[in-house]
């Protein structure tokens, strides 16, 4: 659009017809005297919570708003003005302390009500990289990419703009009454950004309350906005229909020069110039005057009157949308399971990781160890191989932040997700365990007995699964895949060292480590594997060193080093099964207790 007509745009109604009285029911969202405070600590994190000074920041300061449904509202302000915080507070996702009241259609909002009636599209697109876009929403103009992969770091997929529209489309599948979007146009080219905002305007016209935060809307986007909230340093500087923007500021002595975008002009007026102390003081004073002028304005008086009318309403409850019933648990579970499985099947790196890397290690073992003998030295070789078997590396689970997001959106519970997650990795872990054990047995010539081979696979399988579940649990705690993976690798390595008895006899360790080994999965899995390999194994004495008693068979070795292990195989298998169940529970608890507390 030509900038010469910009001022006209802000004085005349936008292109799409404004909502009818039926859809407007003004105001849909009323916010009364909202304050938002966050606590933060200065000084480096390693000083610990007790030694760092706690500060409280007043992020949103006495905000009163009345936002009409059927209109596209934009929160506009410079970086740090409080746009994201305001959206977080409206969505009941804010991490700090909130005072004030939010009403929606005359009902007092609660977090449960907003989880059901409001969808919040945050800045980053969190999509599963290997899923295709199926019937998603012609409304979002995604038909041409309906069969494309989303794409990620490895596989190129749909474009950034298309990803953004898919993110919005997914939120729209919930048919929300309120749609909040944080910086939806950031990173998009001008055509895509305009197309996206036009789609949002169309959605608003259907009676939804659509609120977007925008740093600095370009002229063609500004034209589509019906209602503007200008924020500076957490305070409202203007709140009203876009048609009133220029008249309001002109009256305050800030006319908009011809041929310029009014939002650009007023963002400059509201900006704090930090180049030097003098300019900073002058611009801060100007902003303060603007804030005070708004406090005295007719605009605020009328907003407060409207808001006050709404405030007497009762507490809102969750109502089924448009008569729709939510899907049952079985449907949700199978959808989550299908999505996870499909994503994993299409993930080339996961395939390489799980099916190729571990078996690919076997040729190295062949060079390093060769075929197993039955002499005295083979005892050490066998122990080395068994240590290798119990030290299977736990995989980085394919969990991503979008699952936290979906959990926050109330789409499914942590238990549902973790159950689906565990089930979806079972076939992969099983195949990887079979491949690993088969290669190991075939290359080295371990005890060739079908039962023993099956037990070896089962133990490797349980260790893989426990490792993966432990990583999932750590992700519930840390919310960081790398940290979770490193922590699990450390725990697993330490546990294997201490509890397997393959590198150091347990009896020689300090008592605290001996005690700790009782809670290690490696103690029980190692005992099963060592019995598996050494029980009924005949050994030759032809390489025995003079003066060192020969170990004539594996059972003598077991009696000396793993006393009672032969009789405890059944018990150890039961303990391993309990470990599996226990780790699923630990993962659920980590997500539910620790995870949700972080997110609230
Ligand atoms: N949890 C928090 N801890 C500390 N400071 C916070 C927290 N949340 C918000 N703030 C501060 O509050 C102010 C407003 O932040 P907010 O993210 O809402 O701004 P914004 O307008 O969305 O900025 P941007 O456009 O850069 O995203 C900033 O100064 C920010 O540093």
Q: Is residue 309 part of a domain?
A: no
What pLDDT sits at residue 396?
Answer: 54
Query: What tokens appear for 471 in the block?
Result: 């990583």
Measured by CA distance, the residue closest to atom 1 of ligand 1 is 38
For residue 27, say if its preceding peptide bond is cis, omega within 30 degrees of 0. yes
Q: Nearest 5°: CA angle at 190, between 189 and 192?
A: 70
Query: What tokens appear for 403 in the block?
Result: 């699952």
The CB density around residue 150, as the number of other CB atoms within 10 Å, is 21
Which ligand 1 atom sits nearest the alpha carbon of residue 88? 18
Q: Is residue 335 part of a domain?
A: no
Domain boundary among 247, 269, 299: 299
Specify whether 285 is located in the same domain as 371.
Answer: no
Confidence of residue 136 (pLDDT cuts 50, 70, 90): very low
DSSP letter assigned to residue 139: G
Q: Does residue 455 register a pLDDT over 70? A: yes
Specify whether 372 is located in the same domain as 293.
Answer: no
What pLDDT sits at residue 19?
Answer: 46
Mean pLDDT of 180-193: 82
Specify whether 105 is located in the same domain as 237.
Answer: yes
Which ligand 1 atom sits nearest the alpha carbon of residue 85? 18
What pLDDT sits at residue 459?
Answer: 93
Q: What is the pLDDT of residues 260-304, one digit of tens each?
A: 889 989 998 888 887 888 888 988 999 999 999 999 999 999 999
Specify whether 560 is located in the same domain as 461.
Answer: yes
3-state secondary structure of 508: helix
Q: Is the CB of 40 under 6 A from ligand 1?
A: yes
Instruction: Looking at 298-377, list the stretches that DSSP marks H as alpha helix, in order from N- to C-terminal side.
Output: 298-310, 329-345, 348-351, 358-360, 362-369
Q: Is the CB of 161 under 6 A from ligand 1?
A: no
Q: What are phi and psi of 441, to 5 degrees?
A: -65, -45
Q: Is the CB of 59 under 6 A from ligand 1?
A: yes
Q: Is residue 318 part of a domain?
A: no
Measured by CA distance, the residue closest to atom 24 of ligand 1 is 79
How far does the centroid of ligand 1 lie from the alpha carbon of residue 264, in Å? 21
Specify whether 41 is located in the same domain as 124.
Answer: yes
What pLDDT sits at residue 484?
Answer: 80
Helix (H) or strand (E) run with residue 60 in it: strand 54-67
Q: Report the side by side order of strands in the sheet with 29-41.
A: 54-67, 29-41, 97-104, 107-108
User: What is the C-alpha separation between 519 and 540, in angstroms, rounded?
Assistant: 36
Inter-helix orientation angle 378-390/414-444, to 10°:
160
Q: Is the CB of 215 under 6 A from ligand 1?
A: yes
Q: Is residue 345 part of a domain?
A: no
Instruction: Looking at 357-400, list the stretches that DSSP marks H as alpha helix, in order from N- to C-terminal side.
Output: 358-360, 362-369, 378-390
How far does the centroid of ligand 1 lie from the alpha carbon of residue 57, in Å? 10
Q: Encode 181-234 in three state secondary structure.
A: EECCCCCCCHHHHHHHHHHHHHHHHCCCEEEEEECCCCHHHHCCCCEEEEEECC
In terms of C-beta density within 10 A (0-12 exposed, 13-18 middle, 19 or more buried), how is residue 41 classed?
middle
Specify whether 376 is located in the same domain as 250.
Answer: no
User: Is residue 404 within 8 Å of residue 124, measured between CB atoms?
Assistant: no
Helix (H) or strand (E) run with residue 585 in it: helix 569-589
Mean pLDDT of 452-473: 89
Listed range (64-73, 125-134, 165-174, 554-563) with the worst mean pLDDT: 125-134
- The CATH number of the domain holding residue 253 is 3.40.50.300
3-state secondary structure of 405: helix
Measured by CA distance, the residue closest to atom 29 of ligand 1 is 80
Measured by CA distance, the residue closest to atom 26 of ligand 1 is 79
User: What is the C-alpha separation between 380 and 251, in angstroms, rounded?
Assistant: 90
User: What is the C-alpha separation between 288 and 282, in angstroms, rounded?
Assistant: 10
Specify whether 283 is located in the same domain as 374.
Answer: no
* Sequence-ordered strand ranges (E) for 217-359: 227-232, 235-241
Q: Is the CB of 359 under 6 A from ligand 1?
A: no
Domain boundary among 246, 279, 299: 299
Q: Is the CB of 232 under 6 A from ligand 1?
A: no
User: What is the C-alpha separation between 138 and 152, in angstroms, rounded?
Assistant: 23
Give me the residue label for tokens 């480590």: 513
CA-nearest of 246, 198, 190 to 5 is 246
Which ligand 1 atom sits nearest the alpha carbon of residue 213? 22
How far does the centroid of ligand 1 lie from the alpha carbon of residue 375, in Å? 69
Q: What is the pLDDT of residues 83-122, one digit of tens each?
A: 999 999 999 888 889 999 999 888 888 888 887 788 887 7
Which ligand 1 atom sits nearest the alpha carbon of residue 77? 21
Query: Total domain count for the chain?
Result: 2
- The mean predicted confidence, pLDDT, of the chain is 79
CA-nearest of 508, 458, 469 to 491 is 469
Q: Is residue 334 part of a domain?
A: no
Mean pLDDT of 300-324: 72
ipTM of this complex: 0.96
User: What is the C-alpha separation between 23 and 483, in angstroms, rounded?
Assistant: 49
Cα–Cα distance list, 74 to 17, 23, 79, 86, 177 (Å):
18, 19, 15, 12, 17
Domain boundary among 281, 299, 317: 299
Listed range (181-185, 412-416, 499-503) with the worst mean pLDDT: 412-416
Specify whether 250 is located in the same domain as 389.
Answer: no
From 38, 75, 97, 216, give the residue whose CB has the most ligand 1 atoms within 8 Å, as the site to mutate.
38
Q: Does residue 134 register a pLDDT over 60? A: no
Mean pLDDT of 490-506: 86
User: What is the C-alpha separation between 64 and 43, in angstroms, rounded?
Assistant: 35
Q: Is residue 16 part of a domain?
A: no
Specify whether 84 is located in the same domain as 176.
Answer: yes
Measured by CA distance, the residue closest to atom 30 of ligand 1 is 80
Q: Does residue 129 register a pLDDT over 60? A: no
Strands 235-241 and 227-232: antiparallel
Q: Is the CB of 80 under 6 A from ligand 1?
A: yes
Which ligand 1 atom sits nearest the alpha carbon of residue 95? 1
Q: Does residue 34 register a pLDDT over 70? A: yes
Q: Is the CB of 572 under 6 A from ligand 1?
A: no
User: Is residue 75 within 8 Å of residue 212, measured between CB atoms?
Assistant: yes
What pLDDT sits at residue 3?
Answer: 39
Q: Is the CB of 312 under 6 A from ligand 1?
A: no
Listed range (101-115, 143-157, 405-419) with the worst mean pLDDT: 143-157
Specify whether 188 is located in the same domain as 267.
Answer: yes
Listed range (24-28, 360-364, 546-550, 589-593) with the worst mean pLDDT: 24-28
How far does the centroid of ligand 1 lie from the alpha carbon of residue 38, in Å? 9
Confidence of residue 25 (pLDDT cuts 50, 70, 90): very low
Mean pLDDT of 560-583: 92
From 39, 42, 45, 57, give the residue whose CB has the most ligand 1 atoms within 8 Å, as the site to mutate.
57
Mean pLDDT of 140-160: 55
Measured by CA distance, the residue closest to atom 10 of ligand 1 is 59
Specify whether 289 is located in the same domain as 379.
Answer: no
User: What is the C-alpha separation between 387 and 148, in angstroms, rounded?
Assistant: 44
Q: Is the CB of 227 under 6 A from ligand 1?
A: no
Residues listed for the chain: 600
DSSP letter assigned to residue 17: P
Q: Is residue 38 part of a domain?
A: yes
What pLDDT sits at residue 9?
Answer: 36
Confidence of residue 173 (pLDDT cuts 50, 70, 90): low
Specify whether 384 is located in the same domain as 500.
Answer: yes
Listed range (27-36, 189-198, 244-253, 260-269) with the worst mean pLDDT: 189-198
Give me the residue label for tokens 């929160």: 75
| pTM metric for this prediction | 0.66
Identify the domain containing residue 390 by its residue range: 365-396+427-599
From 78, 80, 97, 235, give the residue whose CB has the most ligand 1 atoms within 8 Å, as the site to mutate.
80
What pLDDT sits at residue 471?
Answer: 83
From 85, 123, 213, 598, give the residue whose CB has the most ligand 1 atoms within 8 Å, as the site to mutate.
85
User: What is the C-alpha separation between 61 and 265, in angstroms, rounded?
Assistant: 24
Q: Is the CB of 208 under 6 A from ligand 1?
A: no
Mean pLDDT of 33-41: 89
How far does the centroid of ligand 1 lie from the alpha carbon of residue 186, in Å? 17
In terms of C-beta density within 10 A (0-12 exposed, 13-18 middle, 19 or more buried), how is residue 284 classed?
middle
Percentage of the residues of the chain whose pLDDT score is greater than 70: 76
From 83, 91, 235, give the residue whose CB has the most ligand 1 atoms within 8 Å, as the site to mutate.
83
Q: Is the CB of 233 under 6 A from ligand 1?
A: no
Listed range (78-92, 281-295, 303-317, 554-568) with the worst mean pLDDT: 303-317
Q: Does residue 553 register a pLDDT over 90? A: yes
The CB density around residue 234, as the number of other CB atoms within 10 Å, is 22
Q: Is residue 294 part of a domain?
A: yes
């Amino acid at each position: 659009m030509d900038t010469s007509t910009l001022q006209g745009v802000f004085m005349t109604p936008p292109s799409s017809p404004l909502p009818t009285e039926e859809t407007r029911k003004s105001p849909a969202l009323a916010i009364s005297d909202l304050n938002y405070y966050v606590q933060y600590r200065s000084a480096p994190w390693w000083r610990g919570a007790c030694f760092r000074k706690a500060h409280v920041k007043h992020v949103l300061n006495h905000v009163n708003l009345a936002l009409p449904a059927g209109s596209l509202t934009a929160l506009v302000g410079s970086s740090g003005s409080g746009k994201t915080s305001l959206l977080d507070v409206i969505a009941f996702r804010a991490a700090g302390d909130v005072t004030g009241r939010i009403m929606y259609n005359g009902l007092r909002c609660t977090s449960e009500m907003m989880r059901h009636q409001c969808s919040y599209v945050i800045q980053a697109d969190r999509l599963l990289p290997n899923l295709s876009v199926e019937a998603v929403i012609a409304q979002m103009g995604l038909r041409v990419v309906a069969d494309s992969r989303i794409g990620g770091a490895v596989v190129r997929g749909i474009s950034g703009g298309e990803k953004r529209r898919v993110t919005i489309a997914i939120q729209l599948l919930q048919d929300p009454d309120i749609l909040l979007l944080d910086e939806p146009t950031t990173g998009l080219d001008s055509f895509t950004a305009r197309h996206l905002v036009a789609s949002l305007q169309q959605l608003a016209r259907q009676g939804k309350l659509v609120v977007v935060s925008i740093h600095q809307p370009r002229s063609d986007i500004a034209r589509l906005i019906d209602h503007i909230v200008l924020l500076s340093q957490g305070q409202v500087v203007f709140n009203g229909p876009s048609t009133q923007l220029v008249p309001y500021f002109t009256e305050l002595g800030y006319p908009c020069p011809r041929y310029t975008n009014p939002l650009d002009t007023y963002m400059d007026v509201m900006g704090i110039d930090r180049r030097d102390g003098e300019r900073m003081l002058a611009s801060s004073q100007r902003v303060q005057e603007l804030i005070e002028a708004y406090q005295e304005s007719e605009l605020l008086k009328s907003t407060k009157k409207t808001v006050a009318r709404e405030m007497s309403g009762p507490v809102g409850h969750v109502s089924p949308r448009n008569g729709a019933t939510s899907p049952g648990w079985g449907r949700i579970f199978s959808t989550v399971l299908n999505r996870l499985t499909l994503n994993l099947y299409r993930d080339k790196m996961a395939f390489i990781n799980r099916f190729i890397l571990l078996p690919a290690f076997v040729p190295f073992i062949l060079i390093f160890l060769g075929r197993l003998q039955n002499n005295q030295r083979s005892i050490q070789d066998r122990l080395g191989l068994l240590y290798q078997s119990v030290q299977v590396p736990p995989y980085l689970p394919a969990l991503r932040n979008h699952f936290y997001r979906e959990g926050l959106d109330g789409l499914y519970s942590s238990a549902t997700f973790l159950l689906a997650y565990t089930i979806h990795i079972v076939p992969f872990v099983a195949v990887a365990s079979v491949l690993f054990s088969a290669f190991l047995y075939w290359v080295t010539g371990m005890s060739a007995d079908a039962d023993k081979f099956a037990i070896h696979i089962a133990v490797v399988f349980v260790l893989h699964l426990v490792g993966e579940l432990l990583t999932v649990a750590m992700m519930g705690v840390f919310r960081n895949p790398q940290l979770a993976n490193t922590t699990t690798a450390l725990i697993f390595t330490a546990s294997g060292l201490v509890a397997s008895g393959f590198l150091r006899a347990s009896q020689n360790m300090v008592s605290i480590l001996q005690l700790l080994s009782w809670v290690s999965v490696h103690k029980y899995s190692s005992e099963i594997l060592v019995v598996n390999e050494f029980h009924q194994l005949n050994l030759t004495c032809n390489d025995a060193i003079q003066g060192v008693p020969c170990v004539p068979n594996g059972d003598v070795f077991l009696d000396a080093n793993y006393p009672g292990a032969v009789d405890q195989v059944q018990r150890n298998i039961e303990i391993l099964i309990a470990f599996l169940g226990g780790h699923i529970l630990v993962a659920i608890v980590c997500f539910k207790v620790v995870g949700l507390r972080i997110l609230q």
